[in-house]
Structure 1
Amino acid sequence: MSEKRSIFEEVGSDDARPEIRKGGIDAGRRGSRKGLRAWLVLLFLMVAVMIVVGGLTRLTDSGLSITEWKPLSGALPPMTQADWEAEFALYQQIPQFTEMNSWMELSDFKQIYWWEWGHRQLGRAIGLVWAVGFLGFWISGRMPTGWVKRSLLIGAMGGAQGAIGWWMVSSGLGEGMLSVASYRLAVHLGLAFAILGTIAWYVFLLSREERDLMQARRVREAKQFGLATGWMHFAFLQILLGALVAGIDAGRSFTDWPTMGGQFFPPYAFDIEPVWRNFLENPGLVQFIHRMSGYLLLIFGTVAFLRGRRSANPATRRAFTAAYIALWGQVALGVAAVMTAAHLHVAITHQVVAVLLWVLILRARFAAAYPVATSVRG
């Protein structure tokens, strides 16, 4: 016969309680998320520096100083006087030297050579960091589920960028060319920003737990996300147009603002035959298109910002505000670049802020896609 028990006695106090398992969604797929994120952040910083160095290489007209593509042996610079003279002799055979830089001595050539060599060397370093990191995570089994393909995508884009870089340089070695083809420069720069944006998005994903992202995705802010997506595409188009401007030094063609040559529409905008070439090669028309696109981007960004400020989530509002502030800074720098005839420091700052703006727009888009949960009291 069982003895009586008090109604206040705790039932089963001596029984072993079952272990509560937390984070079931992340179990088995987590891997080394923090380590992977640190690796991607390093790649992001290196690609950002690569874009800046590429801009300086273009602004100093150094991109054609190395006339051969040697992915492996080219990692070593000229080591002897004879090596330097041989490299200089190759440069002396291309139109940029014969028609524009025939005044150069070996010492002058070395200055532009180091810019291009450093740019290519940084590309090799990025490839090495990617390969070592990917193989390390993959072989050790620390790669989170679903991240092998994403990591391979970054590597494939980087490999394509190297090939496109040479495709761009080779366009400037032909007869009558004093610099690389502007449309090839636009493709090269566009892919660089696509790589940077892809890495940034992956870093954002790894900054939050998988279960948190799955929950946040259910409450996506559709209107803010749609506007941020449009803003991102518009900004990318403006980056491509900026590359066309840089490719033909169109930023130095008209240095007055808000007019161009004292009028709204630049003179001689369609002087090149056939007409379609003016959209790629006429400095006045190319700069005009870049200006008008910049104004439209500012208007679109204002609409996106105002909509973003209506979000119920403070993190989303802050993300849209930060991107909008950067947009105004970029517009101001664009005007300054025009009025200083693309002065080196102003022009490169303009490119640096373009990188910042690009990432901040992506951040606003991510914040709308995966809103951060906030209590009623904030």
Structure 2
Amino acid sequence: MSSVLRTTDRAISELLAGRHVFPVFQPIVDLATGGVVGLEALARGPAGSALEFPDRLFTAAHEAARLGELDMLCAERALECVLAVPNPPPLLFVNAEPSVLDQELSPRLGELLYGGLPFRIVLEFTERALPAVPGSLLRISGQVQQIGNGLALDDVGVDPMSLAFLPIIEPEVIKLDMSLVRNPEAANTRRVCEVVRSEARRTGAMVIAEGIETEKDLRAARELGAQWGQGWLFGRPGPIERADHRYQPAEVRAPRPGFHQPAGTPFAIAAAHGPVGPADPASIAAFLAGLGDTALLLISGDPGRPLPDLAERAGSLITIDDPAPGELTVVALGEGHGRVLTARAGTGLVTSDDLPTVAAVARALLTRYK
């Protein structure tokens, strides 16, 4: 092991042992009223050290194989800091590190979460988590909803995958990446925001624009459909003691326990929302031939066609190796649209392009993903 790695390992070990994470908090503002509706917690290491800022802090933890411990500690410290002030925000946004979503809660974090909080947590997933650990993401989403908290999908607009996963997660909050605010007239920005507005209308999600630094950014955020915003125009991140805001009530959709773990097999879910026809190889082949290019393709069972052929059409292909007995399911999701085919031996076949049905089938598949 090199001296640099040994130094990094020692620094991370000392930071974790001493719980030397010092979160800072940035306000999230209602763009219509200017009122503060919540705070986002941002991790910081010891001031003045090589690990003060999050890029180096999380890189060092990854190199030392301690990333999961650091992620838990950051969440613990954020909650502890907010619980220590007399005027907590209605909402506290906390980030989740995608690569360690499959870990169990630390005892301390479990104690904090289940001890009763005077505010609601919104757990932020970045789009990096979506294709990487979808099964764990849905499991954690279910836990978050079960205890009354909410979800946010962060950095929306950077990768088409985030738009494909939007109807699967159905977050309470959709966060537009700052690149969209900087380039409001770009074709990609318009396309992304059209999909986001449609999803927000359908599900009741709130839309936040990130990176608002100027009045020009503020105007762009409003034009793009954001209801809330955050950025240096409203305040830079700082210690919780400086967050002496007069908070306004934050109207966020109520939690939906069980939503991310739908009951029934993919075929049963689809059959409850559409007619069942005969299942024959020609119908399946025709469906597969008509898919075209898609952002996300989920397959469970044998589609009767080589997977590499199908993978060429997908931004991400996820195969589920634990299919429901006797069922074939193919889900294709793009930007604001989707299609599903599911067939059960001896029963029949269902196809649908109804987005809520497609998304429900996708959730049923991904909960089986290991």
Between Structure 1 and Structure 2, the one with more strand by share is 2
TM-score (normalised: structure 1) = 0.23
> Whose relative contact order is higher, 1 or 2, with alpha carbons under 8 Å and at least 6 apart?
1
Larger radius of gyration: 1
TM-score (normalised: structure 2) = 0.24
Between Structure 1 and Structure 2, the one with more helix by share is 1
